[in-house]
Structure 1
Amino acid sequence: MNRRETKSEQIEISIGRLHAGQIAAYTALRGHRFMALRCGRRFGKTELAKAWISEGLVLGMACAWVAPQHMLAQEVYYDLAKKFSALVEESAKASLIRVRTSGRLDFWSLDNEMAGRSRGYQRIVIDEAAFAKNGDNRTVGSMAAIWERSIKPTLYDYGGQALVCSNAAGKDPDNFFYAICTDPRHGFHEHHATTMDNPLLPKRLSEERQEDWRQRRDQLRADLIRENDPLVYAQEYLAEFVDWAGVAFFSRERMLVDNQPAPFPPLCDGVFAVIDTASKTGTDHDATAVTFFAVNKHFGGAPLLILDWDIVQIEGALLESWLPNVFDQLNELASLCRARAGSLGVFIEDKNSGTILLQQAIRRGMPASPIESKLTAMGKDERALSVSGYVHRGLVKYTERAFNKTVSYKRRERNHLLDQIESFRIGDKHSDREDDLLDTFCYGVAIALGNSEGF
């Protein structure tokens, strides 16, 4: 707890309460100038980083918060602006907080290669560093280049400190976070923590006995191992650097029933479609893809079935006339599967020509919704990882129509859905494969089986 006094009042600001795992991390990193915190999901790295930055603000320091995308820092801005509301002298939405202690916090996105230039900082947090652009310090726009050319020099004036936080994202020497954690030449001191090092999770229920909570915690931890691919568990929860080279990520076997595709359900909860589109006429990647799903949580069998799919190459101006066909097919599938709720509508990525499709659908009274922005903002690898557990547990199945279908697209006759899903590789930065149907698949699984944020 830190206190700052004004002429007429005493204001009390809490920099945050840390759990035992966070205290261990703070103690291990304290005293080092360049610090790397590698930890599993839900450990609480961002909360620890916010506490460290809050301490700097209370002490009147010039601070910065850096994230791969601006929206990833928005929640941090709102939390800290609220925490310091009694002391804020100036603020600008998601870009600046200045407080009466003379402390200042700037927010930067790594989309900006000039992040931090012309400033001098005493404390900097780089959050989710493993998910910034890969490449060495000569690669324009890479995390390594921005660190060396823009961010690191801002610490020179005050001999400032940097706290770099992230989960792991594969074993890749071109990944900045992997490099600073494994190569001592970069000068970072690393602390490694797993998801299980957060002793507060799962949260204890009201009136739950300590022994009952411990038993439930042990069961949930066992479920994490059972329900996730071993490599996913190692990376996401143990925060290990996993080598994904050559690993087929989505197994066909997991999406079949006794090595055969599933029939259409005789009854289901509802059907929906996901569209991924881009109008880039004349390029090699201007596909418009749609995948149709049945939600089947109350009638036995897998809770999510892939009913059908399509992929076309049409100019943006023709998408408006193509869209009604999607809704017609969705209504037909709702009838064939005797969907209790009928058609649940179409989900569309709200960017590129998808924004136009959304506007057209709303104007015509068609049930269309934008895909949750937190999901669309994720990278392709992150999206695939976020839905991998559902596939690994056998909760998603191909139906006969989707599995046996072939379409001629760009002079190639094949099952493009299976090809894109089954050829996907984590961290395959040299891949030039089509991925529009893969995107609709990942979005569909997240929407149907994920939580309210799509995870």
Structure 2
Amino acid sequence: MALSSRSTPARRTIALTPLHSGQAKAYWALRPHRFKALRCGRRFGKTDYAKTWIAQGLLQGEECAWFAPQHMTWSEVYSDLLQTLEPILDASSKAAATIRLSTRARLDFWSLENRIAGRGRRYRRVVVDEAAFAKDGDNRSDDSMMAIWEKAIKPTLYDYGGEALVCSNSAGKNPENFFCNICNDPQYGFHEFHATTMDNPLLPKRRQGEGEATWLARRDQFQADLVRDNDPLVYAQEYMAEFVDWSGAAFFNREKLLVDNRPVSYPAVCDAVFAVIDTASKTGTDNDATGVTFFAVDKRFGGTPLLILDWDIAQIEGAILETWLPTVFERLETLARETRAVNGSIGAFIEDKNSGTILLQQARRRGMPAQPIDSQLTAMGKDERAISVSGYVHRGMVKYTSHAFNKTAIYKRHSRNHLLDQVENFRIGDRDRDREDDLLDTFCYGIAAALGNSEGF
């Protein structure tokens, strides 16, 4: 596709985002080193730091590249840098994933889903963003992050003796994880800088007219709340950016989903009820596995913010999905009456892939209230998605009702409570790819939809 071009403007003013004090410390610590690893907690500002570092190279006329696990991960960075560099923009194309500047600099964007990302190019600077969330494996696995680094990305730096900045939060203590390896094993030649969420001195943002003493007190309270409201392992990984060993640790604790070790009753009144549906093709099975979980949300009447009312799981042939879907909405109407939901049933959230795409089309055709689950959530890995909603469970904002807790169903010849089985047996970093997880996905999606912020977290 042809690049869109524009003439060079007479005025060339580039405004780069200033580094905060924590980022400045990282810059000076990493500056002398060719291969740099920035390990930092959530909201430290690693991507903003990387954008400033790569823009510095572009302003010097350098050929640069930005690598990320998925197209969606670099898409926003592309837009931000395009706006920042607009005064010296020569040509750009998001489809071709490239920006060219009047300085003769070039910035290419690559997805790490492409195992030959960067091959044939030469770069002075490269950023690898969210490196811990690229594919695990050693350099013998052609599509692993380690193999892509050693066989595709690192050779692009040979011509100019180029530099690499690898940024990420941690993602467990995992000997197969690229980021864990380069931060802990000197043989890879990386110099690491470690920062926590608290090393960003600008957050939480100061309110208009707020005095410094009041803001500092609120900041201290925010940091104390992070410790209180998160599972200790989640806090250590997500905010302290430590390499946490998740092996054997049950992630969603049953005790947190009960009250005094007992499930709760249906609410006397609530705001609304909704369902989450997940359908996915499983290798080695005859039919699609389809899971649905039903929720009640209460933000006005003083009850538990989110209750799990019911669930179901079955192997359903494609032709039967059409007759199965109306039963979900019938069940929602029944639950809306039983819980006296003020806003009734607000419908179903459905993962927009595999058979879910067909279900969404059927629902729209029949006038049933259904909407796709936000793509930001579906694009995340299972571990990251679970971590993103874990705080709500840890704070006791999600509970099992007696019906959902005591229910059993026969699925693949096994009679058990499949919701509890999937949720309570989930482990971060579990490599058992054949484990059933459809109800676990509906559990996480439901929490994000009901309790998450605008980004689904």
Q: Establish whether TM, by shorter chain, passes 0.5.
A: yes
Q: 1:229·1:388 contact (CA, 8 Å) conserved in 2?
A: yes
Identify the range of structure 1 (93-102 vs 438-447) with the bigger mean alpha-carbon deviation: 93-102
Distance in 2 separating the partners of 1:7 and 1:249: 54
- Contact persistence 1:281–1:315 (CA under 8 A): no
**Conservation of the 8 A alpha-carbon contact between 2:13 and 2:87:** no
Deviations 1:261-295 (A, max 9, x none): 00000100000000000246862783100000000
1:330 equivalenced with 2:347 (yes/no): no
Q: Which moved more, 1:32-41 or 1:428-437?
A: 428-437
Moved more, 351-360 or 246-255: 351-360
Deviation string for 1:214-273 (max 9, x for gaps)?
110000100000000000000000000000000000000000011110000010000000
The amino acid across from 1:224 in the alignment is: L
Residue among 158, 162, 167 paired with 1:160: 162
Secondary structure of the 1:13 match is coil
Structure 1: runs of 5 or more not aligned:
1-5
Which amino acid counterpart does residue 61 of structure 2 have in structure 1? G
Contact 1:279–1:316 (CA under 8 A) maintained in structure 2 = no
- Could you report, residue by residue, the CA deviation over 1:338-358 in whole angstroms, capped at 9, with x for unpaired residues? 000101110011111111111
Map residues 13-412 of structure 1 onto 2, 5 A cutoff. 13-93=14-94, 95-279=97-281, 283=285, 286-412=288-414
Assess if the C-alpha contact under 8 Å between 1:387 and 1:446 holds in 2. Answer: yes
Q: For residues 414 and 57 of structure 1, do their structure 2 counterparts lie closer, same or farther at Cα, with a shift above 3 Å needed?
A: same
C-alpha separation between the residues in 2 aligned to 1:113 and 1:337? 51
CA contact (8 A) 2:294 2:308 kept: yes
- Write the distance in 1 (CA, Å) between the matches of 2:198 and 2:449: 27
Judge conservation of contact 2:44–2:198 (CA < 8 Å) in 1. yes
Letter in structure 2 aligned against 1:24: K
Distance in structure 2 (CA, Å) of the matches to 1:113 and 1:282: 26
Query: In the TM superposition, what whole-angstrom CA distance separates every residue of 1:309-330 from its partner, at most 9, and x where no partner exists?
Result: 0001011222121111101101
Q: Which residue of 1 aligns with 2:440?
A: 438
How far apart in 2 are the matches of 1:369 and 1:430? 30
Change (3 A) 1:225 1:381: same
Check whether the contact 2:272–2:344 (CA below 8 A) recurs between aligned residues.
yes
Q: Give the total of aligned pairs.
A: 450
Q: Distance in 2 between matches of 1:42 and 1:359?
A: 38
The residue type equivalent to 2:213 in the other structure is: E
Q: Is the 1:194–1:238 Cα contact (8 Å) retained in structure 2?
A: yes
8 Å contact from structure 1 (residues 279, 315) kept in 2: no
- TM-score normalized with structure 1 length: 0.97
- Structure 2 counterpart of 1:84, one-letter code: L
Cα 1:273/1:247, change in 2 over 3 Å? same
Runs of 4+ displaced beyond 6 Å: none
Where 1:207 maps in the other structure, the secondary structure is coil
Residues 350 and 360 of structure 2 are in contact (CA less than 8 Å); yes or no, is this contact kept in structure 1? Answer: yes
Q: Provide the residue aligned with 1:3 in structure 2.
A: none
Deviations 1:81-118 (A, max 9, x none): 11112222211116111111111110000110010000
- Closer/same/farther in 2, CA of residues 221 and 409 from structure 1, 3 Å limit: same
Percent identity between matched residues is 69
| CA 8–306 in structure 1, closer or farther in 2 if over 3 Å, else same | closer
Over the residues paired in the alignment, what is the CA RMSD in angstroms?
A: 1.3
Alpha-carbon distance in structure 1 between the residues aligned to 2:103 and 2:414: 65
Deviations 1:40-99 (A, max 9, x none): 000000000000011111111100000001111000001011111222221111611111
- 3-state SS in 2 of match to 1:51: helix
The aligned counterpart of 2:430 is 428
Q: 1:360 is paired with a residue of what secondary structure? A: helix
In 2, Cα distance between the equivalents of 1:285 and 1:435?
Answer: 15
For 1:218, give the aligned amino acid: D
Contact 2:8–2:90 under 8 Å retained in 1? no
Contact 2:383 2:428 survives alignment (8 Å)? yes
Cα distance in 2 for partners of 1:316, 1:278 equals: 11
Distance 1:352 1:98 in 2: 38
Superimposed CA distance per residue, residues 128-157 of structure 1 (whole angstroms, 9 cap, x where no aligned partner): 000011000001210000001100000001
Shift of 1:298: 1.7
